[in-house]
Amino acid sequence: MKIQNVKGGYDFLPKEQKIRNYINDILKEIFEQYGFESIETPILCYYDILSDKYDEENDILNEIYKLSDQGKRKLGLRYDLTVPFAKFIALNKNQIKFPFKRYEMAKVFRDGPVRVGRDREFTQCDVDVVGLSGQLIEAELLSLFVKAFNRLNIDILIKYNSRNLMTGLILESGVDSTLIQNIATIIDKKDKISEIEFKDKLIELGLTQKQINNIVNYFSLSLEELNNIFANTSNEKIKIGLQELNNLQKYLKDINISSVCYFSSSLARGQNYYTGNVFEVYDQKGIINGSIGAGGRYDKMITEFINDGNEYPTVGISFGLSAIYELLKDNTMFNDKSNVDIYIIPIGTEIESLMLANNLRDLGYNVEIEWETKKLKKSLDYANKEKIPYVIILGENEIKNNTIIIKNMFNNYSIELELNNLIKIKEYI
C-alpha cells in the first residue's frame, strides 16, 4: 500500500497551520466587526440540491464529488457554502430574524484541476446577508473585502459586473434566450483564452458571424460607453443591469474604495444562481492565477427553495483560504515568535514544574515543559531555535527559596519572582 494524500488534499505542518489560523482569526474578527454571526452546515448534501441550478455544460457538475449511502440515495460533497446556506435558511426560517447575516468557515470539495491556490479539498470563508435588496449592502461587502485584505497586507483589485447586464447584452446580440447560460459561461472565460478560441466556442453553439461580432463588440465596452449607447434602451435586462452597476459605482466612490474596484463586462461567475451584481477579487501582483475572493447577489435561490410566497433577496462573498495562504506562506512575520510564551526546564522538579505551568496558564500564558532528560544547553538551544521568548529553569534551590528566575531569550535579561506571587509576572511579560 502506498501511503499518500489524495491529489489536491494536503497535510499542514504546525508552521503552515499557524499561517492558516492567522488568516482565519483575522477574517473572523472582521466578519464580527460587520455584524455577522457564525453558523455551521453539513458537508454531505443531496446531489439534486447541489446540481439544481446548473446547465449540463457547466463545469461545476463535473467537479461535484458524487457518492451514495446505504439506502442508495444520491449524495454529494458540498462544492461551496452557498447552496448549503440556502438550504439552511429554508429549513430554519422560522427560528431566525431577517435580515440575517451569517459567516461560515468550513471545508468544501471540488474534483477539478489542481493548481497553486486551487485545491480539491479547501476551506472557504463566507459571509452572506438574507433579506436586503439594493447595492448599499453590496458596497458594504466590498468594503469588507478591502478591510480584510488590508489587514492581511495583500494589495487587491476587485472586478464587478451585473448578470442582468450580461443577459441583456447577449439578448441584444440577437441570440436565442435558451443559449444565455451557455454563452455566459463562455464569456466568463473571455479574458483567459485567445480571441480565436473565444469565437470558436461561440461557433460551436451555432451562433452566426453577426451574433458573434455583436457579442465581441458589446463585451469590450466600458460602463460609460454602455450607459451612452443604451441610455434609451427598451431592453429591460440592460436597463436593470446598468442601474445596478451605476448605483454600486456611486456607493463605492462615496466610501472611497473605487480606486481598487473595476467594472468588467465579461465577469459572470460560474454559478448560474447569481441574479444581479457579481464580484471577484485578485491580488494586484498577479502571484495567484485566479481569484482570491468572490461573490454576488443571488435573490432567487432561497426564494425558490422555500417557495412560500415571500422574497428572500440574498448577497454574499467568499474568501479562498488556500489562495490567501499561498500569498502569505513566505512572509517572515510568521518566523518572529513561537506560539509558546514560556518554556519551563525542570531540574529534578517535574511535579513542581507542572504545577507552575498550570498556574501560569491560568494567568493566560502558553506554557511548554521540557519533559525529556537532556543537557541544559540542548534545552536552551531548543528554546532559541523555536524562538520561545521566555525560559524558566526550575531546580530544587528555586523551590526551596520560593523563587523563579525568568530569562528573556531575546536580550538575556532576567527577572526574579516569588513563586507564590506569580501575578507580578504581568508587569514584565
Same domain? For 341 and 311 the reply is: no
CATH number at residue 137: 3.30.930.10
**9 is a domain residue:** no
**317 is a domain residue:** yes
User: Which of 328, 347, 380 finishes a domain?
Assistant: 328
**150 is a domain residue:** yes
Same domain? For 92 and 241 the reply is: yes
235-275 confidence digits (pLDDT tens) = 999 999 999 999 999 999 999 999 999 999 999 986 678 99
**Measured on CA atoms in the order 317, 321, 323, 326, is the torsion positive or negative?**
positive
**3-class DSSP assignment, residue 137:** helix
**89 is a domain residue:** yes
CA–CA distances in Å: residue 180 to residues 171, 177, 264, 322, 360? 8, 5, 18, 32, 64
Residue 389, pLDDT score = 94
Q: Report CA Rg, the chain.
A: 28
Same domain? For 237 and 345 the reply is: no
* Cell numbers 439578448: residue: 171
Neighbour count for residue 95 (Cβ, 10 Å): 6
Neighbour count for residue 224 (Cβ, 10 Å): 10
Same domain? For 185 and 262 the reply is: yes
42-54 confidence digits (pLDDT tens) = 999 999 988 876 6
Residue 399, pLDDT score = 94
DSSP calls for 253-277: HHTT-GGGEEE-TT---S-TT--SE
User: Which of 328, 346, 371 finishes a domain?
Assistant: 328
Same domain? For 256 and 355 the reply is: no
Residue 191, pLDDT score = 84
CATH number at residue 423: 3.40.50.800
Same domain? For 96 and 140 the reply is: yes
Give pLDDT < 50 ranges for the chain.
Answer: none
The C-alpha cell that represents 241 in the structure block: 443591469
Same domain? For 204 and 270 the reply is: yes
Domain span at residue 303 reads: 14-328
Same domain? For 282 and 375 the reply is: no
**423 is a domain residue:** yes
Same domain? For 317 and 411 the reply is: no
Same domain? For 188 and 257 the reply is: yes
Residue 30 half-sphere exposure, CB side, CA atoms within 13 Å?
Answer: 24
- Say how many domains are in the chain: 2
**8 is a domain residue:** no
**92 is a domain residue:** yes
Same domain? For 228 and 142 the reply is: yes
**Which residues of 180-276 form beta strands (DSSP E)?**
261-263
Given a contact cutoff of 8 angstroms between Cβ atoms, the answer to whether 109 and 80 are in contact is no
**4 is a domain residue:** no
Sheet containing strand 121-130, edge to edge, reads 37-38, 100-109, 121-130, 314-320, 293-297, 277-283, 156-162, 261-263
How does DSSP classify residue 115?
Answer: B
User: Which of 328, 355, 377 finishes a domain?
Assistant: 328
Q: What is the pTM of this model?
A: 0.87
Residue 58, pLDDT score = 67
Same domain? For 378 and 271 the reply is: no
Neighbour count for residue 223 (Cβ, 10 Å): 19
Determine the angle formed by the axes of helices 136-151 and 14-33, rounding to 10 degrees. 150
54 φψ region: left (φ > 0), alpha (ψ -120 to 50), beta (else): beta
> By C-alpha distance, which of 333, 335, 324, 260 is closest to 288?
324
